[in-house]
Structure 1
Amino acid sequence: MSIFGGGKWRREAEQLVVKPFRLVTTTLLSLLLPLSFLFLSRLSSASFLFSLTKSPPQTESSFFFFSVFFNYTNPAILYAVVSSISVYTLVLGLTTKITATDPSRSIPFLPHVSIAWLTLFLVQISVGLGLEGTNANGLIIGSERNFLSRLVFFFGLHEVMLLWCRVIVRPVVDNTLIGGGDHKREETVVERVALAVSCGTLWWWKLRDEVEALVGVAEAKKALLLLLPIDGNNNVNGSFDVGTLDFVNWWLYYMVVTIGMVRIVKGCLWFGMVLLFEQGTRRNPRGVSTAPPASSLHNDDEGDNKV
């Protein structure tokens, strides 16, 4: 009785404490990826403004802190992680079949838990320090996109966030709460809804305007190069050249847009397949073959031979 009672108590405790805590922790850690895009967009705008002013203003402590962070910290790790997750999401979106099964099973490569721990720790430190020293003042947005293009970017960002959650966040959280070993579990509807709502809220609150700085800086530099006269002052024109980071930011933005387009197309194809399947089921609900029996065909052949 005591053993049964203890097992029942553990199951009840897991239902009341572990599952909600795991849901909240997974959702918050999954938001690190869209926050990485927010930090990279602010980093791009602030670096462009810093190159124009040459010296940070002494009145704004946050901008001064960011200038120190930008000069002495290399965000290459964050770029590498975000680029790898985005490329992996695009490859999976183009190669996997359209099915209604658990998407986690279609991921061919999952890193070791220690690698996931290290990646999650580095991204959390980079995003935390970066957002602490930056703000949305003076963002270079460039030409404003329409709502449709922003919506496509949101679908792509949500797809990248889902892969980040399945590859990095969930193995770390499950290993911490459940323990070592291979504990693969299917995603619940509540988890998917929580991830979608959190990503949508962050996108509507901050990302839908600020993330456009990833391509806005490059567009602003091209516009300034066209407006400025061509002279021998290479120091002024050199700060407006499109550099490697500007190209990487532009590449990341449109890669996420491509992922969103792939997701929309696959969703439309899946919906069309469901409609065709339902129509076929209605026409032949019991799966009975419409072909005539073999015995009748045999009798007909015999009658033809007799004639």
Structure 2
Amino acid sequence: MGCETWNERRQQLLQYLQTPFLRESFYIITISLLSLILPLAFLLLARLANGYYILSFTSLPLSSFLPVSFLYTNTNLLHLLVSAISVTSLLRTLMGHFDFTLHSNSKSKTTSKAYICAAWIFLCTFHICVVLGIEGTMASGLWTVDLNVIGKGDSKNLVSRVVLFIGLHETTLHWTRTIVRPVVDDTVFGVVREERWVERAAMAASFGGLWWLGLRNEVEALVVILEVKRELWMRVEMADLVNCWLYYLIATIALVRLIRSLLWIVNLFFCRGLRRSSGSSDGDDDSKV
């Protein structure tokens, strides 16, 4: 009964999107918005770390409709989901192009139903955790705490921010390709589509906008909080260790990507030089003959 209702709603949605322009626009906007769930999760974790650290020195009341225990539970679940995406992103970066999706038919490029269901569950769970976390922090006042109190002199340099930007972009790209795109492709078109430069540009623009609006300043709290607590001899929580681990995991992804890009450039120029040298040697041999 549930599958029949879902199929009927899907057919109704497809009827509204029969126009190619509307379908393409809806497709690009949906992928761009859903791709921001992962960087928003990093922003939420940084906000929670900042807020809990500041509240440990003050007596600000928490006026939230959600209990504090739920915020801690939601943080643990977010750590699990973000870690899963980050670890698989590191594996993909180390191994090169690796397809984590499962295709039921390699010729038609149709993603298996089991993988689609798993992607739907992962996406919905991730989205609910991020939305409830943001709503809970805003209602409790953690979202409005002055975050410039922490790390005013401990801010990272430009190089570390560039590395973190590249790592987060690579992880967001992996999240979009493995979870978001299979779900949206199956919902809108029913088949797997090739990634186009317009879709990648839209996703990069949305991520760049979020980074410029505040993610670049606040995500550093993932590692700064742990450093400050160690300097002040405060109790280090498990969440602080996980946040620091995620920070350096993202930095590792960026460094691996930079090294692979550098090796690709060196290989390109080296192969081009070999071709020129081999071509010149062949020309000399022909002239001698």
Q: TM-score range by the shorter chain?
A: 0.7 to 0.9
Give yes or no for the alignment of 1:45 onto 2:50: yes
Identify unmatched segments of 5+ residues in structure 1. 1-9, 58-62, 97-102, 226-239, 297-307
What TM-score do the two structures reach when normalised by structure 2? 0.78
**Number of the residue aligned with 1:235:** none
**Number of the residue aligned with 2:166:** 155
Q: CA deviation at 1:221?
A: 1.0
**Number of the residue aligned with 1:28:** 33
Q: CA deviation at 1:109?
A: 4.8
Residues 84, 49 of structure 1: CA spacing in aligned structure 2 closer, same or farther, 3 A cutoff?
Answer: same
Residues 31, 115 of structure 1: CA spacing in aligned structure 2 closer, same or farther, 3 A cutoff?
Answer: same
Is the CA contact (8 Å cut-off) linking 1:136 and 1:210 kept in structure 2? no
Q: CA deviation at 1:176?
A: 0.9
Amino acid at match of 2:69: N
**Number of the residue aligned with 1:275:** 269
Residues 283, 70 of structure 1: CA spacing in aligned structure 2 closer, same or farther, 3 A cutoff?
Answer: farther
Q: CA deviation at 1:20?
A: 1.5
Equivalent residue in structure 2 for 1:124, among 123, 127, 130: 127
Q: What do residues 229-265 of structure 1 show as CA deviations (whole Å, max 9, x unaligned)?
A: xxxxxxxxxxx21121110000000110111111111
Q: What do residues 275-294 of structure 1 show as CA deviations (whole Å, max 9, x unaligned)?
A: 33444455567x9956969x
**Number of the residue aligned with 2:192:** 184
**Number of the residue aligned with 2:85:** 85
**Number of the residue aligned with 1:107:** 99
Q: CA deviation at 1:119?
A: 1.1
Amino acid at match of 1:191: E
Amino acid at match of 1:15: P
Equivalent residue in structure 1 for 2:218, among 206, 210, 222: 210
**Number of the residue aligned with 1:166:** 177
Q: CA deviation at 1:187?
A: 1.0
CA distance in 1, matches of 2:164, 2:88: 17
Residues 69, 216 of structure 1: CA spacing in aligned structure 2 closer, same or farther, 3 A cutoff?
Answer: farther
CA distance in 2, matches of 1:208, 1:64: 28
**Number of the residue aligned with 2:3:** none
Q: What do residues 77-102 of structure 1 show as CA deviations (whole Å, max 9, x unaligned)?
A: 21111001101111121122xxxxxx
Residues 251, 114 of structure 1: CA spacing in aligned structure 2 closer, same or farther, 3 A cutoff?
Answer: same
Aligned-residue identity in percent = 39
Question: What secondary structure sits across from 1:185 in the alignment?
Answer: coil
**Number of the residue aligned with 1:223:** 231
Identify unmatched segments of 5+ residues in structure 2. 1-14, 103-113
Is the CA contact (8 Å cut-off) linking 2:46 and 2:219 kept in structure 1? yes
Q: How does 1:42-81 map to 2 (within 5 A)?
A: 42-53=47-58, 55-57=59-61, 64-65=63-64, 68-73=66-71, 74-75=73-74, 76-81=76-81
Structure 1 outlier segments of 4+, above 6 Å: none
**Number of the residue aligned with 1:60:** none
Q: What do residues 134-158 of structure 1 show as CA deviations (whole Å, max 9, x unaligned)?
A: 4252336431100110110000000
Is the CA contact (8 Å cut-off) linking 1:30 and 1:169 kept in structure 2? yes
CA distance in 2, matches of 1:288, 1:259: 42
Quick check: which has more Rg, 1 or 2?
1
